[in-house]
Structure formats: C-alpha cells, structure tokens
Amino acid sequence: MEFLMSIDFWTGLLLIVGIDLILAGDNAIVIALAARRVPKNQQKKAILWGSMGAVAVRALATLVVVWLLKVPGLHFIGGLLLVWIAYKLLADDKDHSHIKAENSLLGAVRTIIIADALMGLDNVLAVAGAAHGSYLLVILGLIISVPMIMGGSTIFLKLMNRYSWIIYAGSAILAFTAGKMLTSEPLIDQFFSDLPLMKWILIIIMIIAVLLLGKRTNDKVKRYRQTA
C-alpha cells in the first residue's frame, strides 16, 4: 500500500478524474442526441445502458493503450497527439450532426456506445498518458469519475458553455499530461532525468503555447463570425 503515500499516484488520479470531467461534455451531447427520440419511459434505460456500455468499451480501450504506451517510441507519439488534442479542445467547434437519434431502446444504446467509441480517442489517450503505466489508476479514475459524469455531465456542459475558463483549464491539463508523456519517453527519459529543470520548462512552454494558439484561433473565428 506504499503507493497510497506517493505524490505521483495522487497527482495521476487527480489528472485522470479532471480529464474525464473536462471531456465529459461530449458524452452529454452524444447521450442526449441518441436518446431524444426514444419513448420517455425508456429514455432513462437508454441513457443508463448506453453509458455503461460506452464506459466498458472506453475502459478496455484505455487499458490496451496503457499497455501499448510501454512500447519505446509510442509514448512520444502519444504525447504529440495529445498536444494536438489539447489545442483542438480550444479551437474546434465539434459537429455532432452525424449522431443519429434512434426510436428504439436497443438502437439508442447501440448509437451511444458506437458514437462514444469513435469520439473517445482524446479521453482514452489522455487518461492512458496520465496513468503512466498503472492499470490501478485507470480503474480508480473510472470508479470515481463515471458516477460524476453520468450524474452531472449535462450540468458540467452548461458550466463549460457559460464559463470559458473551464475549457482553458481542461486544455492546460491535457497539455500538462502531454508534456509529461513526452518527457517520460524511455528513449529520451535519461536526458530529462539529468536535467529535471529542463523538463518542467518544456512542460510550461507547451502549456502556454497551446493556450495562446487556441485563444488566437478562437479570436479569429469570433472576428470572422462578427463580420460574416
């Protein structure tokens, strides 16, 4: 039980829960769109079973990615992908028009699971990176965050739409996770072990760059919409 006294363990757990909550907005949208045409007396069942199925698929995918990230070189590639995901969280207006509303309970459950699996790369990669090879952290993170997501994802989505700083905080968390992934790549880990200050300078620069580029893109989009 020594891991319970580890700062890295608790930091990783907090990162995973934070990532799950920040990226929960899309879950709320997918669930709402897929279940909106199901008879009202079956909507709660569609949401429950669809969410449970989506979580099971995502958990399995995350555990697989945690294992894959142990392969030399993939940690670095995963970190680069996560930098892009952190930027896109700020700069991308996600289109959910492809989510088909279903009339039946089974159809809605199937749509929720498939749509969540297709859209869940960001969550899977981010959680796997934050876990740093620990399957226990992935499982604990899911146990803690899933009830919060299922019970409050719609509320959290409204908060994100109202308070833009929450999105920026989420992007910073993803950029921080990406930085840790990049600097812990086995092929270059020794370099940063010898120069720990360089590691944190790189992570801070990465966070600032992602936030500034994302804000710049958002400002351009706003100006374009105002003049259109």
Higher pLDDT, 166 or 149: 166
Is the model's pLDDT at 94 over the cut of 80? no
Q: What is the pLDDT of residue 210?
A: 92
With vertex at residue 33, the alpha carbon angle to CA 157 and CA 55, rounded to the nearest 5 degrees, is 70
The total number of structural domains that make up the chain? 1
Rounded to whole angstroms, how far apart are CA atoms 69 and 85? Answer: 17
Rounded to whole angstroms, how far apart are CA atoms 216 and 94? Answer: 18
* Mean pLDDT, residues 38-50 taken together: 80
Does pTM top 0.75 for this prediction? no
Rounded to whole angstroms, how far apart are CA atoms 194 and 192? Answer: 5
**Tokens standing for 90?**
């700020």
* Mean pLDDT, residues 52-67 taken together: 84
Per-residue CA distances from 221 to 42, 46, 212, 218 (Å)? 40, 36, 14, 5
Is the model's pLDDT at 207 over the cut of 90? yes
Question: Would you call 155 exposed, middle or buried from its count of C-beta atoms within 10 A (0-12, 13-18, 19+)?
Answer: exposed
pLDDT band with cut points at 50, 70 and 90 for residue 168: confident
Structure letter (DSSP) for residue 101:
P
Domain assignment of residue 5, yes or no: no
Domain assignment of residue 2, yes or no: no
Higher pLDDT, 63 or 55: 63
Structure letter (DSSP) for residue 3:
G
- Where in the sequence is the domain holding 97, given as residue range(s)? 10-221
| Encoded amino acid at 158, one letter | K
Domain assignment of residue 46, yes or no: yes
pLDDT band with cut points at 50, 70 and 90 for residue 186: confident
Domain assignment of residue 185, yes or no: yes
Rounded to whole angstroms, how far apart are CA atoms 88 and 171? Answer: 9
pLDDT band with cut points at 50, 70 and 90 for residue 151: low
